[in-house]
Copies of this chain bind each other. A is one copy, B any other.
């Protein structure tokens, strides 16, 4: 019985058919070649027709047709082996390396006094992360350019030190690896610039504080039952506390404002916790490690601040006390399908069909190749995916390209929203890079790759969490019609995508590669907004539900783009359209017209740049030492793609202080340095006035003309949620991207190479078309619409609000 007949039989069995598909179904994860999913009738051999199926060189006049089996079905696709030209030096540590490193640092002789993660108590030191320190560029270049050996390997061992009155984070560098008598473990400092490599860990005692806060709330139950209709105590809770991030420092004391919110367990599988704030806030002094010293400093409700609970009780007893709306949980907060079905919407929308993959992925070596592009990738906890050594037509265009940090800066009249500015590398994009939903996040025939991190003594793998696929952009790359001919070229794009769900928000990152040589970096946001309670927030957002304000916030996601354009010595060029009044020699009068002005950023002092109003300036990274044959400098331009990439509205934020310097402009150019590897540190949010990496220190006036330069750019959006953000934010509007495109880089458009174009000749007696030697025609294939998800594993969500506390058993 063939697979198809199996399917038919299964189909007749009823509605559970899809979940009982036989194991050879296209939906079985990682069971052999993914290609098989789309080659239901394919045979393994090469029984191809007379047209050269695999040939690359047949003339256009021999335009092929699709091969067909004898029954007219499309042939089995062949596999393109993914093969890295070199070992990936950014691929991360091996499990063996991690194990030996953990053994090395836990050995008492290390002097680090570490406790194994699963045995640790509050007063212990423990390793929460082991990962590769990416090699210094100065060490890596010789190797990847074929002139040297692979750079030494080092591990970042991230330690939480709890055996001290003041808990702190500190990173150690351990290497070279493998462990030998050359190996050392030392504080990692060479690309940090705080002075000290230690960073306070104000969250170390969160578990203890949760209990303390539950006890505290137990004493406030009369108030919360009255005002909110909910309560928290040490045995059960219908509300929870949600804290500010970062914590606040006032007169030398550490302040946590906590907001009551409805307990999200009330709403089934739907996680509405950021949509149910209750408008009641506690000001807590949580200084130090002794719960006896912690105290309730005040309470805030309906615009009034009370120093004690009894003050609030006294107010509540008065007739004129203002009570605000209680939280309502309505359908508008739920993500499930609801409302009148749309016409014909049970029919299938267009699905992308592709039998034969045209790219290759070396999953082991984390290397991918499509058309004239190829690159390696690395993966870590803070920023998830980074691309390395991105080559186009055999030449490096990026040494490094990836996320660095993400800020979500809120504002509001209440203490919670006005004191929230997430620096998401703290939580990390890596741990939350969950399994993708096939057919929805990426096509079924994408290549899916796992990601893994070594945290808290374990290696945790998220299966199928990065995808690679080709897509048709839905509009031509270029076209032209004349009376003699028509020419149109498809805009076929290769994409790498992953989604990091950090608590309430989903960030989808897509790196796209185009036939014109350009690279787009796109981030789209979805997931639940972090709304705030409506009262008093008229100046900070729209009222979007009975109890809810769509809290205003800025998303600023900052990226590193270390471009190398025909070598690593480059210059940042600005080319501007400017109005001009000119008297030309051939004319009698002056003309009001325009000119192009070119300039170059020569010093880091001028390296902070904003997108020009009216898009009047173009920005490129060029190589002035290697002008092309016409005398122009080859380069790659960076320009806004989708949406309007923004910097932060608040340039000197009271809450992110010295940790937010990456968010004050749209672009930055600095000299590349091994000592300025990253512009942020995952623990910067712990003490934002004294960050481990302070980006402002990168700007020290160095020459950046024809030097190895790095471009740091921001994506993001100002987000003023409106009713359409309920239940969750839409990627259609919450997106931004930049495009890196060749700029005088080649001597003409490279998309002329693709066969995915048509030229129709109208000059002859009969209209003829040049299909450019690509296979074409008709064959039958199985179309899969909406697959089976019985093996989806998803991932476990950890809130990025880690100090949510409630009773332990509710």
Contact = CB atoms under 8 A, between A and B. Distances in A.
A191 to B, nearest CB: 29
Nearest to A434: B481
B440 A490 contact: yes
A48 interface: no
Contact of A783 (B411, B642, B741, B779): B779
Interface-central residue, A541, A590, A632, by most chain B CB under 10 Å: A632
Interface string A774-810: 1111111111111111111111110000000000000
A639 interface: yes
Nearest to A614: B646
Contacts of A28: none
Interface stretch (A124-132, A560-568, A756-764): A756-764
B577 A649 contact: yes
A473 B473 CA distance: 8
Contacts of A649: 577-579, 594, 614, 616
Interface string A316-360: 000000000000000110011111111111111111111110110
Interface string A477-497: 111111111111111100101
Contact of A615 (B352, B359, B717): B717
A753 B595 contact: no
A672 B478 CA distance: 37
A80 B474 contact: no
Interface in A396-426: 409, 411, 413-415, 418
B482 A508 contact: no
A606 B63 CA distance: 60
A789 B769 contact: yes
Interface stretch (A150-158, A198-206, A725-733): A725-733
A346 B54 CA distance: 8
Interface stretch (A111-119, A226-234, A447-455, A509-517): A509-517
A416 to B, nearest CB: 10
A122 to B, nearest CB: 25
Interface stretch (A213-221, A379-387, A543-551): A543-551
Contacts of A577: 552, 554, 649, 718, 720
Contacts of A739: 732-733
Interface-central residue, A443, A471, A783, by most chain B CB under 10 Å: A783
Contacts of A473: 474, 732
A756 B592 contact: no
A622 to B, nearest CB: 11
Interface stretch (A12-20, A86-94, A177-185, A703-711): A12-20
Contact of A644 (B409, B469, B615): B615
Contacts of A250: 588-589
B774 A786 contact: yes
Given A632-B543, A649-B577, A759-B335, A795 B483 contact: yes
A349 to B, nearest CB: 4
B55 A336 contact: no
B585 A750 contact: no
A723 B591 CA distance: 28
Interface stretch (A136-144, A161-169, A651-659, A688-696): A651-659
A472 interface: yes
Contacts of A527: 479-480
Nearest to A645: B615
A769 B336 CA distance: 11
Contacts of A497: 475
A175 interface: no
A270 B485 contact: yes
A278 to B, nearest CB: 16
Given A516-B724, A759-B335, A797-B481, A593 B654 contact: yes
Nearest to A469: B350
Contacts of A646: 614-616
Nearest to A480: B527
A762 B732 CA distance: 27
A369 to B, nearest CB: 8
Given A488-B440, A595-B540, A752 B337 contact: yes
B475 A510 contact: yes
A794 B753 contact: no
B596 A730 contact: no
B614 A476 contact: no
A269 B639 CA distance: 34
A744 B722 contact: yes
A588 B251 CA distance: 10
A470 interface: yes
Interface-central residue, A371, A415, A722, by most chain B CB under 10 Å: A722
Interface in A428-472: 434-435, 437, 439-441, 443, 469-472
A74 interface: yes
A649 B592 CA distance: 11
Nearest to A588: B250
B335 A480 contact: yes
B745 A579 contact: no
Interface string A557-582: 00000000000000000010111101
B760 A792 contact: yes
Given A358-B343, A441-B479, A415 B586 contact: yes
Interface stretch (A285-293, A298-306, A673-681): A298-306
A506 B594 CA distance: 24
A62 B15 contact: yes
A208 interface: no
Interface in A47-96: 49-50, 55-58, 60-66, 68, 72-74, 80
A755 interface: yes
A749 interface: yes
Contact of A352 (B472, B552, B628): B472
Nearest to A750: B339
A176 interface: no
Given A616-B649, A762-B793, 10 more contacts: A18-B63, A344-B356, A355-B783, A414-B586, A418-B591, A475-B731, A478-B728, A552-B596, A639-B733, A779-B783
The 8 closest A-B pairs by CB, nearest first: A776-B786, A615-B644, A440-B488, A332-B748, A769-B789, A350-B352, A339-B753, A350-B354
7 contacts: A336-B752, A337-B754, A347-B356, A480-B728, A591-B655, A592-B652, A724-B742
